[in-house]
Amino acid sequence: MRSKFLARTRKWIGASALAILVGLGGGTAFLAASSPMAAAQVTPVAQITAPDLTAQNPGFANLVDAVKPAVVSITVEGREKPPAIDQNNNDFNGQIPDLPDDNFLKKFFQQFGAPQGRGPQGGPAPQGRRFAAAGSGFIISPDGYIVTNNHVVENASKVTVTFDNGDTKSAKVVGTDERTDLAVVKVDGATDLPFVKFATDEARVGDWVIAVGNPFGLGGTVTAGIVSARGRDVAGSNYGDFLQIDAAVNMGNSGGPTFNLKGEVIGVNTEIFSPNGGNVGIAFDIPAKTVQQITSSLIKTGTVTRGFLDVRIQDVSRDIADSVGLKEAKGALITDVTDNGPGAKAGLKSGDIITKVDGQEIDNALALSRTIAGDQPNQTVQLTVWRDGKETTISATLGTFSNKGDDNTKPNTPPSDDQGVTQSSVGLTLVPNGNGDGVLVQDVDQDSVAADKGFQVGDTILEVDNKKVSTGKQFEAAIKAVKDSGRSTALIKAERDGSVRFIGLPLDASKG
C-alpha cells in the first residue's frame, strides 16, 4: 500500500513539473531541459554535495562485534529506605492509609487509629520493601571496573553482572555520585576483561551513534541513531549538559554506553523523555568528559569532591541585562552569598553577575555550576564580574562542596494591620515587612507588567536597583531614580519562601 502511494506521488509530481515547464516555455525546448543531461548542465553552483555512503559498509555489524563484549547487564537486589517514624512510633505519622471509602480496613483505622509502628520503644525498626532491578553497564578496565548509573545500584545489597557470553559474576559498589547519577562497580579477580575507552573528541550533532544495553531485561540489545542535540538541561539534574540521542533507549538501558563509529564511548544512557514510559526517540546521555572525570574520582577515593563558591545564582534574563547595562543576556547572577563562605571571602556580593571563569565564557547559571564543580577544592579561580555597570576581576579560592541543608528560612507573613500601605506605580500594593527586611507585596494588579513578571502576594521586595527598601516610599523613590537615569527596566531583588531571585521589571511597558 505504501509503495503504491509513493509511486502515485512521484507520478503526480513528475506530471506537474512537466505541465509547468510546457506552460512556461510553450515548446519543446523546455521539455528537453527537463532531461537528466540538461538538468546536469544547469545544476546551481551552491548546491550541497553529500558524501557517498554507499561506497562504504552501511551497517554497524563490525562495530557491534568489536564493542559488544564490553557491555554488561546488571541486576541488583536490595531494600528501599524504610518509612519515616514519628516520635510516637507511628509508621503512618498519625495518618490513616489512603484506602477506598468502602474498604473495611479504612473503617477499622477510623475507629481504632492507624496501626502502631515499631522502633526503639516498640521493638525492631521497620525495614523497607525488598526490590530487584535491572540495568546496564560497560567495562572500562581489564581488571573489572564497570560504569553504570547511580539509580541502577542505589540501595543495592547484592549486585550481579552478566557478561555478553552469558557468564555471571558478583560485583561490589566502589562508589556512587547522586548529583551526576553515576556509579562504579567492580568484579574482583578479573585480569583480562574486554574493555572500551572514552571518546576524546566531543560528539557533534548529526553524528551516528549506537546504544547497547539491557532494555526490559533483554540483554545485548543494539539500537542506532544520531546525536540529536547537545547541552540539554534535563529537569532534576544538578549539572545538565546532556547529549540528546534518538537511538531507541528504554527502561533497562540505564547505565549503558553510547558509542561513536570509532567504538569510543561518547556518553552514558541515563534518562528518556516519554509520555508513556517507552521510547519515543528522545534519550539523554551523560557526556563522556563528565563520566571520565567522575568515575576516575570514584575509583581513586570512592567519592567525588567538587569546588564550591557557596553562593546562590540564577540566569540573566533580557530584562535583567537591560536593567544593569549588559549588552547580552548572559552570565550567572548572584542572588545570595553565604556569610564566611568562599564567595563571601572573595568579595562577591548579591547582584554581581559572573560572566567568565578563568577566561571561559559563562552563559547561564548552569554553566557556572558545572564549571566551578569541575574545579578542585582550594583551587584559585579568576572570576570576571559585572558590577555597578562595569567589569571587574575577582580572585576566589574554592571551598569543598557538601550536601548540607539550609532549613532555617521562614516564609514572610504580612502585618496584621493596613498601616503603611503603598499603591506603587508598577501595579504592586506594598506594606512594611513585620518579620524583617524589605516590603511585602499585599496585592498585585493582574493587568500590570508586575503580574506578567510573576510577582505574587506574599513576596518580599528587598532591593530596587541594588538599593535596600523598607517602605513603599523608598520603593517608589528607587523606581523614579531608575526612570530619571534614562533606563527603562528596574532590577528588583525579591524573596519567596526563603528563595531569593532578581527580576527585571520593565517600567515603560503596558498591557493591551
Q: 368 with 447, same domain?
A: no
Q: Is 101 a catalytic residue?
A: no
Q: Which of 228, 237, 254, 323 is catalytic?
A: 254
Residue bearing cell 547537545: 230
Write down the H helix ranges in 318-441: 318-324, 342-346, 365-374
Q: 342 with 436, same domain?
A: no
pLDDT of residue 126: 57
Boundary (domain end) residue, out of 304, 336, 368: 304
Blockwise average pLDDT, block size 10, the chain, 512 residues: 35 32 36 40 58 66 92 90 52 50 52 47 60 92 95 92 94 92 94 93 94 91 95 70 92 94 94 83 93 93 89 90 92 91 93 94 88 88 93 92 44 43 86 83 88 89 91 90 90 89 81 40
Q: What's the grid cell of residue 426? A: 508598577
Q: 290 with 341, same domain?
A: no
Note down the domain range covering 288.
137-154+173-304
pLDDT digits (tens, 9 = 90+) for 243-302: 999 999 999 999 999 999 999 999 999 988 888 778 889 999 999 999 999 999 999 999
Helix (H), strand (E) at residue 96: none
Identify the burial level of 359 via C-beta atoms within 10 angstroms of its C-beta, where 0-12 means exposed, 13-18 middle and 19 or more buried: exposed
Look up the CATH number of the domain holding residue 291: 2.40.10.10
Q: 353 with 469, same domain?
A: no
Report d(CA 26, CA 321) in Å as an integer. 60
Instruction: Tally the domains of the chain.
Output: 3
Boundary (domain end) residue, out of 304, 320, 336: 304
252 within a domain of the structure (yes/no) = yes
Q: 463 with 339, same domain?
A: no
pLDDT of residue 26: 40
pLDDT of residue 72: 96
348 within a domain of the structure (yes/no) = yes
Q: 225 with 298, same domain?
A: yes
Q: Is 151 a catalytic residue?
A: yes
447 within a domain of the structure (yes/no) = yes
46 within a domain of the structure (yes/no) = no
pLDDT digits (tens, 9 = 90+) for 99-138: 555 555 555 444 444 444 444 444 555 566 788 889 999 9
Look up the CATH number of the domain holding residue 438: 2.30.42.10
143 within a domain of the structure (yes/no) = yes
Q: 373 with 464, same domain?
A: no
pLDDT of residue 395: 94
Q: 260 with 144, same domain?
A: yes
Q: 311 with 186, same domain?
A: no
Q: 150 with 268, same domain?
A: yes
Helix (H), strand (E) at residue 79: strand 71-79
Boundary (domain end) residue, out of 254, 285, 304: 304
Report d(CA 497, CA 402) in Å as an integer. 23
Report d(CA 373, CA 105) in Å as an integer. 51
Q: Is 254 a catalytic residue?
A: yes
Q: Considering only CA atoms, give the Rg of the chain.
A: 31
Grouping H, G, I as helix, E, B as strand and the rest as coil, residue 390 is strand
234 within a domain of the structure (yes/no) = yes
Q: Which of 136, 151, 228, 319 is catalytic?
A: 151
Q: 351 with 442, same domain?
A: no
512 within a domain of the structure (yes/no) = no
Q: 372 with 251, same domain?
A: no
